[in-house]
Amino acid sequence: MTQFLFFSGKGGVGKTSMACATAVHHADAGQRTLIVTTDPASNLADVFEQPIGHQITAITGVPNLSAMEIDPDRATIEYKERALAPLRSLFPEQMVKVVEEQMSGPCTSEVAAFDRFTDFLDLPSNGEPPFDVIVFDTAPTGHTLRLIELPAEWARSIEESEHGSGQTCIGPAAAIQESKHKYERAVARMRDPEQTRFVFVLLPEATSIKETQRATEELRKLDIHTHELIVNGVIPQTEAANALMAQRIVMQAGYLAQIAGQLPLPARRMPQFSGEIKGVARLRIVASHLFEDAPSESFGLNQSFAGPVTATPAEWPDEDVRARLLPDAGRRTIFFAGKGGVGKTAASSITAVWAARHGYRTLLLTTDPASHLGDVLGVPVGDTVAPVNGVPNLWATNIDPKAAAGVYRARILDDARDRGRAPEAIAVMEEELNSPCTEEMAAFDQFIDFASQEDWEVVVFDTAPTGHTLRLLELPMDWSQQIDVKVFATVDGAAADDMAKQRFESVINMMRDPEQSTFAFVTYPEATPIVEAHRASGELKTLGIETGLIYANFILPPEQCTTEFTRARRAMQEQYLAEIGTRFAVPVVEIPLLPYEVKGIDVLSMLGDQLYGVPEVQMA
């Protein structure tokens, strides 16, 4: 019987490294093992240091181990062909073309990647399964929970469509009937404790603990109960001799006690290393600790970083950075993007607090399902715009897809009724709007609203991790082709489409104009977040959007590097800071590693002054 292992957690906690080490361990034990990533911004190839892609690929040097990176675009093509193939022999080409157009929206892309994911859970119950162990390296928690909720939601949506119009936004209900059964089987497998385990990777930090607590509770609501923990990034006690690390060890000790008390689950600990976890040899060392409790001194990972520093980031005047953050006239919109866990929320909060203290009416919002704005600001942040206590001129909100979906459905249906549409047409629209993809449409709609508002002088977006951010930013282009087909077809297609396209074009032009918008990538000085930021920057360029700033986070101050461990990490960081300088021809803002977490208005204000300079207009 195949075992399914899901690795989940907040972005940047080391899910991929732990999932890869676990897969290597099972393969070395003689089990036929597959590791699959569902993260749109996959790092499997980076960790294994070989090409993988959208096909099952053997891992060099590890017999019994294969890997696959699900490509949403390739999955979409495959999904549409499977759904349309039965129709081609039954209906005229023109009718098939209409169905194909209905399946050309972003909604289909989401379900296609999900459908490919469920293929691996839907192994035949009789005969020899192709794998003994399947490891899922998932996207950050909020998106993973969404993925796991989808089987039940799509099964329900397909069933409702069978009794209604017979058409769903992912194809005709009759053509995807087998998908419904597949999704139901996938849910049953995930709920089976004999087959499935969820491994939550977390750091000894407040936001990571909170997200793990939320995720385990959400899984319990889905009747999934088999959980365990890997607490990653624990600073070795030997580093207590270093002043900076000693303070962070004390901070971590409190959180380790909190994890033991509030998350009473089987748990393993993994220390922080001075080097990166990349390549099969290092993965085997990590696996030996995870499964054999090898002592940390045997790791061979705490070594000096090899390689000369070949370049340094170019020096940019502070004025160049400030010019990309503040409006010259009108409004400035700043998008913070990057891999999960790089510190986007901290960087965006620092910037928003600084701009508000500069005297600009500033809105800070997040499109990340696992929002931590309130944790970083130290004040509650809800799904309506509200002032931030202690910072005049600053307002904040969290785009909640579920809350937004209710408002969005009501608005579309009320508009249809006001236009005098027939009850039958309203019923068809309501059926379409009850599909799971409406949440994404609604979050996008709110994004457009905020991006269009004239009330703000500075708007700061704390975005979801890279793959999901790119998807959000591509939505205006995709959706403008789909509005009349998907939602407004039964209202007043031409008028609604014209109105929507005008609205979208205004936002698209704003995003492409460097005088109005700045796209900032947050990274830290290691290979995978830099490579991911560079890839994403290239994708944005294809949309006509240029990268304006790079933030390098968690930088060890040179004067604090007094031990072999910290000196080795600093040497590694200098090498990667040099690489950032060669990859990105834009200003680089360095955020230092502090002895404590970046949270609270006082800390955010201090860092803002340090990074950008003291505001000319100090607010009381």
Q: What is the CATH number of the domain that holds 382?
A: 3.40.50.300
Structure tokens at 437: 């993809």
The separation between the first and the last C-alpha atoms of the chain, rounded to the nearest angstrom, is: 65
- Identify the pLDDT of residue 485: 38
Domain-embedded: residue 366: yes
**71 catalytic per annotation:** no
Out of 298, 328, 362, a domain closes at 298
Domain-embedded: residue 406: no
529 band by pLDDT with thresholds 50, 70 and 90: confident
Helices 141-162 and 206-221 pack at an angle, to 10 degrees, of 20
**17 catalytic per annotation:** yes
Q: In this structure, are 288 and 323 located in the same domain?
A: no
Q: In this structure, are 368 and 254 located in the same domain?
A: no
Q: In this structure, are 530 and 569 located in the same domain?
A: yes
CA distance 294 to 43: 26
**Which residues share a beta bridge with 3?**
133
Number of separate domains in the chain: 2
Q: In this structure, are 462 and 522 located in the same domain?
A: yes
Domain-embedded: residue 358: yes
Domain-embedded: residue 239: yes
> Which residue out of 39, 115, 368, 497 is catalytically annotated?
39
- Identify the pLDDT of residue 410: 84
Q: What is the per-residue pLDDT across 315-338, written as a single tens digit (0 to 9) for each?
A: 676 888 999 999 988 889 999 988
Amino acid identity of residue 191, one-letter, is R
> Which residue out of 9, 10, 11, 16 is catalytically annotated?
16
**359 catalytic per annotation:** no
- Identify the pLDDT of residue 61: 96
**486 catalytic per annotation:** no
> Which residue out of 528, 547, 563, 605 is catalytically annotated?
528
Domain-embedded: residue 24: yes
Q: In this structure, are 356 and 252 located in the same domain?
A: no
Q: In this structure, are 340 and 272 located in the same domain?
A: no
Out of 244, 266, 298, a domain closes at 298
CA distance 347 to 458: 15
> Which residue out of 2, 9, 10, 15 is catalytically annotated?
15
**602 catalytic per annotation:** no
> CB neighbours of 464 closer than 8 A, spacing ≥ 6?
140, 142, 143, 367, 368, 369, 472
Q: In this structure, are 188 and 334 located in the same domain?
A: no
- Identify the pLDDT of residue 307: 42
Q: Which residue has the higher pLDDT, 211 or 154?
A: 211
Q: In this structure, are 41 and 139 located in the same domain?
A: yes
Domain-embedded: residue 443: no
Out of 238, 265, 298, a domain closes at 298
**210 catalytic per annotation:** no
> CB neighbours of 399 closer than 8 A, spacing ≥ 6?
365, 366, 367, 383, 443, 446, 447
In this structure, the chain runs to a length of: 620
Full residue range of the structural domain in which residue 62 is found:
3-77+109-158+180-298
**Closest residue by Cα to residue 330 from 504, 510, 586, 544:** 510
Domain-embedded: residue 441: no
Q: In this structure, are 26 and 148 located in the same domain?
A: yes
> Which residue out of 14, 275, 343, 467 is catalytically annotated?
14
Q: What average pLDDT does this structure show over 187-209?
A: 90
8 band by pLDDT with thresholds 50, 70 and 90: confident
- Identify the pLDDT of residue 484: 39
How far are the Cα atoms of 248, 338, 535, 616 from residue 216, in angstroms, in the given order? 27, 25, 32, 46
Q: In this structure, are 520 and 555 located in the same domain?
A: yes
Q: In this structure, are 377 and 276 located in the same domain?
A: no
Q: In this structure, are 46 and 132 located in the same domain?
A: yes
> Which residue out of 8, 17, 22, 537 is catalytically annotated?
17
**318 catalytic per annotation:** no
**Closest residue by Cα to residue 181 from 138, 103, 125:** 125
Domain-embedded: residue 98: no
Q: Burial level of 267, CB count in 10 A (0-12/13-18/19+)?
A: middle
Q: What average pLDDT does this structure show over 387-401?
A: 91
Q: What is the per-residue pLDDT across 542-555, written as a single tens digit (0 to 9) for each?
A: 888 899 999 999 99
